[in-house]
Structure 1
Amino acid sequence: MSNPRLQRAVISVSDKAGLAEFAQGLAAAGVEIYSTGGTRKFLEQAGLKVRDVAEYTGFPEMLDGRVKTLHPKIFGGILARRDHAEDMQLTAEHGIVSFELVVVNLYPFEATVAKPNVSVEDAIENIDIGGPSLVRAAAKNHAFVTIATSPSQYEAILQEVKDQGATSFALRRKLAAAAYAHTAGYDAAISAWFAKQLGDTFPQQLSIPLVLENELRYGENSHQLAAVYRQAGANGTSLVRAKQLNGKELSYNNLLDLDSALAIVRPLSQAACAVIKHNNPCGAAVGDTLAAATRKALEGDPQSAFGGVLAMNQTIDQATAEVLCQPGLFLEAIVAPAFDAAALDMLKSKPKWKANVRLLAVGDFTPQQPTIGYRQIEGGMLVQQADVLADPESEWKIVTEKQPDARALAELKFAWAVVRHVKSNAISLSKDGMLIGCGAGQMSRVDSVEIAIQKAGQRAPGSVLASDAFFPFPDSIHRAAAAGVIGIIQPGGSVKDPEVIAACNEHGLPMIFTGRRHFKH
């Protein structure tokens, strides 16, 4: 495969980062630059000699810039096959010069539609037409043409041009693959926006635009490769965009656990801390201060908290850091909106695990909008609305003779907020704003009740119980009452509901039906 000498480049970009330096390097290597509109003016202001595309094609830019590069003299120069005599003869007859480099990145559609109250007109005007056409044409003819779609690619291209006056086929092929991925993601973002405009939750064809953020050390196990991708156009607080302030590289399991921990504390209004182990909460608590909430969360199940992952919903201060640095405690990762300077210094210097603990700042929590959840199965994908919406308490019903007092009601609300994040069958016991027992992922709901009570131990009397789904039989009620539980919250909906309610009345327990189940598989 011959490598054509790089003589001419078409440059038309929205993101001008690094462009002046790149173009100066090309010019120094003898490359003639053709450009349009704002890009041409930018390059000329940087002192570069640029040939105007309109002057070359003999056709002016028109329709408010909608038509600039869409011309046979541009596309012919990109698509002509240098090893086809007929192609070269035709381009010569029509005065078409060859372009060996195309530098294009597209209108900022995703950034535009992410703005609050963006108009439909603005969104439509930021759908690029000429850009994707140039990218796809250059990528198709990568045997002879180099396509750059990101400033991150400039250095590699320029180095090869400086060294040999051309780019290698290996680089052109790699850039062509990146170009098609780029336009595919762009089209997917536009498709998703149209589906949203039409209120089409489940469109006939679904594309998920993802951008590689990082490769990970390994997956769930050391023999599995893994990476984390950022969902293009996603906004709001997320781990993917979090700033890592300390510690080892994040693992696949770290990210899963950190995301689960954040999901628990994000909607809580009081200072809150959650401790996750193997994607289930082994501790969670609210308090008047973040330090108090953190201490309670760690005390929920101290044995399981060792080696756990933590999330907080407020900036970690020095008092909270002192709780985290207690002797004998080892933590894998901690995520919070921010860390104050004293807390960060303490966590990075005081405990034995100081160099290893992963500290992540996600920034201020932003309101979480309903999102779509994806789960891969063999041969396809399950898609559903994510279970992130708050339950309307106006729909809750107290179905027992005894009413919960104010303290019990507050505790029931906290237990209900936590149990939705436990793997089904899920049971949580809480007391004083603190998770004290958790039964997760059992085939029998009564087994989950037994495990939660066992975890709570002597703290069980005076606690409340939350169940993510209805009780199929009253046996769990009798067991909870024997352990000293003082209130129950559950969705209801079983054919045995009358028997379950009767069991609560027998033991003098208040019970709330929420009317909404929260399975987590």
Structure 2
Amino acid sequence: MAVAANRTPAPDRHKVARALLSVFDKAGMVDLARGLVELGVELVSTGGSRAALEAANLPVRDVSELTGFPEIMDGRVKTLHPNVHGGLLGIRADPAHAGAMETHGIHGIDLLVVNLYPFAETVASGADRASIIENIDIGGPAMIRAGAKNHAYVSVLTDPADYTAFLEELRENGGAVGLERRRSLAAKAFGMTAAYDAAVSTWFAGETGDAAPARRAFAGTLASSLRYGENPHQSAAFYLDGSQRPGVATARQVQGKELSYNNINDTDAAFELVAEFDAARTAAVAIIKHANPCGVAEGASILDAYERALACDPVSAFGGIVALNRRLDATSAAEIVKVFTEVIIAPDADEEAIALVAAKKNLRLLLTGGLPDPRAAGLLVKSVAGGLLVQSRDSGTVDALDLKVVTKRAPSEVEMADLRFAFRVAKHVKSNAIVYARNLATVGIGAGQMSRVDSARIAARKAEDAARGAGGPVLTQGSVVASDAFFPFADGLLSAVAAGARAVIQPGGSMRDAEVIQAADDNDIAMVFTGMRHFRH
């Protein structure tokens, strides 16, 4: 049905005479209400909000006085009434609307102060299904959308952070609010209800086991506007998705300048990689540059792991991101700050370590309070022209795989430990990925090449460059090698053999597996198949 357009221009300023307050989060509500009363605004409220206002000795009418109907069904029905929605939606300058309001005794509502039941927080708390359902707000979103649609006459406050500025404007303008602010608040209100509905629909999709629902909504809350994106001519912003997965989004930035788009992207890659290593079992450090690792190692301590990770490619580590799976201690911090580093991210840090990092005023230190679970489910989203690609997170871990020895020679115990280590790292290297490892440290990494052979050669050359710089042996000799996907031909394997690798881990599954296995046997190479690929684009 066609809807007639309202061509009555919105007033530049609109005086607030009546406010409806109905909030779950009552932070700042009483102070706001007190300021409104001082300006002569009539307060109308519901349930717990009304009780809080009365406790503060503020004059307030119960919403049932407007509706002529009590709250029923445990508060499920209290504001869903024409006297409320008519007061929000009525166009004051439209004679037909004004006549309907007068005929039916509907009084305009000029200010709506509403925030919603904590649906996402209830889901995150692990609450039962009934509790989650009960925390789906109905009346709140309905009122917010009504008031925001009619922002020509209604201001909608959904965020306590906006209360102070709103009151200041009212005081400066004799109790009136400008159109620009009303529009801004309306835009924020619709963003909030969209995000709320996205959270509800995502939960329902999970409940029904629908991996590809007919409509998929994604939402985020602005964490910060960034100076620019990957390049200075691109605008950018950082949003939180509310998942609370430990990492850059949830971290406390102890010090350092503002994070850039590239910092956030690289720091996330670094922390997700280092989380593959159980902190209760081993210390681990990952050094990342442009979302690829340039060195990863396990060690007896964070310092040991850092020094061994740095040795893999100290040139590329300059200006990189350092991620730790354990608390940052002072000894390790003193060593890390010797190399120009953009970001250090760790679960925690000693006070002495924090003080050492503070000497480098531009170095960002992020503390997360924990590690993300590499096995946890989740969604990854990528935009393409005209659409979105959505996939589940790569939650496969080498510890959960049934490794199959396919060559005549089986890996030794030491080789097997290195193979598992290398495959953990390969999961986080851009495809085509080749990782050489020795003694639980990377010694050569090849990433993002169109040919797997090229990745193997680049990784070997990186190892040679590191050896030349350190004045020591090339550590790919006697190493193991991991490939994120199968070798389509034997040439990639033979390049690794030429670099000195003695054992291989790869998914298998090529039409030429037999040829590759034969090449391994011919060179006395041990090889295991994982049955799982780890492409990362």
TM-score interval for Structure 1 and Structure 2 normalised by the shorter chain: over 0.9
| Residue number in structure 1 paired with 2:421 | 414
Task: Please point out which of 495, 501, 522 is paired with 1:506.
Answer: 522
Displacement, 1:156? 2.2
Q: Displacement of 1:392 after TM fit?
A: 5.4
SS of residue in 1 equivalent to 2:316:
helix
Q: Structure 1's 282 and 366: CA in aligned 2 closer, same or farther, altered over 3 A?
A: closer
Deviates more, 1:472-481 or 1:185-194: 472-481
Aligned match of 1:403: 410
Asked if 1:425 corresponds to 2:432, the answer is yes
Separation in 1 of the partners of 2:400 and 2:144?
A: 52
Q: Pick one of 11, 14, 18 that aligns with 1:8.
A: 18
Give 1:238 deviation, angstroms.
2.4
SS at match of 1:374: strand
Displacement of 1:393: 4.5
| Amino acid across the alignment from 2:334 | E
In structure 2, what is the equivalent of residue 283 of structure 1? 295
User: Are the aligned partners of 1:440 and 1:448 in contact in 2 as well (CA < 8 Å)?
Assistant: yes
Match of 2:366 among 355, 360, 368: 360
Query: How far is the alpha carbon of 1:479 from its aligned partner?
Result: 2.7
Q: Deviations over 1:104-163 (max 9, x none)?
A: 1111111111112x2221111111111111111111111111111111121222112111
Q: Following TM superposition, by how much is the alpha carbon of 1:503 offset from its aligned partner in structure 2, in angstroms?
A: 1.2
SS at match of 2:439: coil
So what's the TM-score if we normalise by structure 2?
A: 0.93
Tell me whether 1:127 sits opposite 2:127 in the alignment.
no
State the Cα distance separating 1:4 from its structure 2 match.
2.9
| Secondary structure of the corresponding residue to residue 394 of structure 2 | coil
From 309, 331, 343, the counterpart of 1:319: 331
CA RMSD of aligned residues (A): 1.3
In the other structure, the counterpart of 2:394 is 387
The alignment status of 1:266 with 2:275, answered yes or no, reads: yes
2:442 to 435, 439, 449: 435
**Equivalent residues of 1:393, 1:514 under 8 A apart:** no
Residue number among 352, 356, 378 corresponding to 1:342 in the alignment: 352
Distance in 2, matches of 1:441 and 1:53, equals: 62
Q: Which residue of 2 aligns with 1:255?
A: 264
Matched, 1:377 2:384: yes
Q: Retained in 2: the 8 A contact 1:370–1:389?
A: no
Aligned length in residues: 513
Q: CA deviation at 1:394?
A: 4.5
Which residue matches 1:468?
Answer: 484
SS of the equivalent of 1:240 reads coil
- d(CA) in 2 for partners of 1:236 and 1:477? 37
Q: Distance in 1 between matches of 2:101 and 2:358?
A: 65
**Which secondary structure state, in structure 2, belongs to the residue aligned with residue 239 of structure 1?**
coil
Deviations, residues 475-498 of structure 1 (Å, cap 9, x unaligned): 233332232212111111111111
- Residue pair 1:135, 1:179 contacting (<8 A) in 2 also: yes
Q: Write out aligned runs for 1:9-408 (5 A).
A: 9-116=19-126, 118-164=127-173, 165-232=175-242, 234-269=243-278, 270-326=282-338, 329-349=339-359, 354-368=360-374, 369-391=376-398, 393-408=400-415
Contact 2:16 2:41 in 1 (8 A): yes
Counterpart of 2:533 (choices 510, 517, 520) is 517
CA distance in 2, matches of 1:62, 1:181: 29
Q: CA deviation at 1:8?
A: 0.6
Measure the CA separation in 1 of the matches of 2:136 and 2:454: 55
| One-letter amino acid matched to 2:517 | I
Cα deviation for residue 319 of structure 1 reads 1.6
CA displacement, residues 155-208 of structure 1 (integer Å, 9 cap, x when unaligned): 222112111111101111111111111111111111111101000111100100
Name structure 1 gaps, 5 residues minimum.
none
1:63-92 superposed Cα distances (whole Å, 9 cap, x missing partner)? 110111112221222221111223223222
Q: Distance in 2 between matches of 1:439 and 1:314?
A: 27
In the alignment, structure 1 residue 483 sits paired with structure 2 residue 483: no
Q: Give the direction of change, closer, same or farther, for the CA distance of 1:392–1:284 in structure 2 (3 Å limit).
A: closer
Report how far residue 383 of structure 1 moved. Answer: 1.0
Of residues 68-77 and 406-415 in structure 1, the stretch that sits farther from structure 2 once superposed is 68-77
1:296 is paired with a residue whose SS is helix
Question: Would the aligned equivalents of 1:266 and 1:313 in 2 still touch at CA under 8 Å?
Answer: yes
